[in-house]
Amino acid sequence: MSREPITLRDMGSFHVGGRVVEISGKPEKTVMFSAGGVPARVDPNGAYLVEAMYVQYFLPERRNGKYPLLMWHGGGLSGVTYETTPDGREGWLTQFLRKGWDIYNSDAVERGRSGFAPPDVWASAPHFVSMADAFIRHRIGAAWSNDPAAREGLPGNLFPLDAYDNFARQFVPRWTTTDAAISAAYNALIDKVGPSVLLFHSQAGGFGFPLAQARPEMVKAIVAVEPAVAGDVTQAARLKDVPILMLYGDFIERSARWPAMRQIGLDFAEAVRTAGGTADVLNLPAAGMRGNSHMMMMDRNNADIADLIHDWLTRRGLVA
């Protein structure tokens, strides 16, 4: 092992938020939980704890990030986004840990280890992400094939194409009707850990920006990695004391949706600056860094991008 060891003063996990719901009117049933085991009589009625959020934390012995760094993943994914990359390199979780940040990596409500609520509570069905859909939509490839050898990556793309199937293993079902529950749990996380730096990706723009606008005193900086949406431009002044860095990768002009999605971010950044705030936009290709997909935390140059983010946080006075 050629890497330096990682020394932690603590590590662990917890859940935040959630609520108790009561389910009633259902018949008792017999459930065989394990083949060859003992059947159980189960009353499906009663209290269920739903909409809590799972958070895993890693606290380096030599801390120099002044605030906790919260990592929030995008849609159809979980906190695994920030762990080991699909091709087995270090992800941003350990890269920022090595830089001295206290890391809190969570699975949004409904996703991964946060679990999901019974259909009695959430009437709508989950959405499943196909291999082809993410391949195109996340600006990894130009043309999909079930045959890995026949997949066409975007030219110069830095996503580890050979490991795409491992990325597809990370996909988890998602709902499109649970935004309020997800936001409530992120608020509960901030309540627990206190003022923090938010690093969020894609869908989580719809949670991070509104939370920061509602509670700017709890957010010391925002790192928005290709946010799918931004905050309320009419309330941009709420963020005048919260420095923002937005990052965008390559191939946006080739995408059906990303030109408009990026424009939402650019317009919001402009509104924050007009209100006297700091909103830096880092278009990686314009900075000479070509080839990044929507999943830049997994791309081959993910360590270089982590360095850029850490340097920006350092310039903002958030590193001791």
In the complex, the smallest distance separating the C-beta of residue 256 from its own copies, rounded to whole angstroms, is: 8
The residue (of 254 and 315) whose beta carbon lies closer to its own copies is: 254
Name which of 199 and 289 has its Cβ closer to its own copies: 199
The string of DSSP letters for 55-121 reads: EEEEEESS--BSS-EEEE--TT--GGGGSS-TTS---HHHHHHHTT--EEEEE-TTSGGG----TTT
CA pair distance 253, 276, nearest whole angstrom: 30
Between 34 and 288, name the residue whose CB sits nearer to its own copies. Answer: 34
- Shortest gap between Cβ of 275 and its own copies (angstroms)? 19
Instruction: For residue 279, give both structure tokens.
Output: 């909103």
Q: How far is the CB of 205 from its own copies (least distance, A)?
A: 7
Query: Would you say 129 or 289 has its CB closer to its own copies?
Result: 129
User: Least distance from C-beta 90 to its own copies, angstroms?
Assistant: 7
CA terminus-to-terminus distance, the chain: 29
Separation CA 209–CA 188 (nearest Å):
16
Cα distance between residue 88 and residue 44, in whole Å: 42
For residue 252, count other CB atoms closer than 10 A to its CB.
20
Q: How far is the CB of 172 from its own copies (least distance, A)?
A: 4
Q: Which two tokens stand for residue 107?
A: 């699975």
Q: How far is the CB of 153 from its own copies (least distance, A)?
A: 17
Nearest residue to 319 (alpha-carbon basis) of 63, 65, 96, 68: 65
Give 169 or 254: the residue with its C-beta nearer to its own copies: 169
- Of 163 and 275, nearer to its own copies (C-beta) is 163
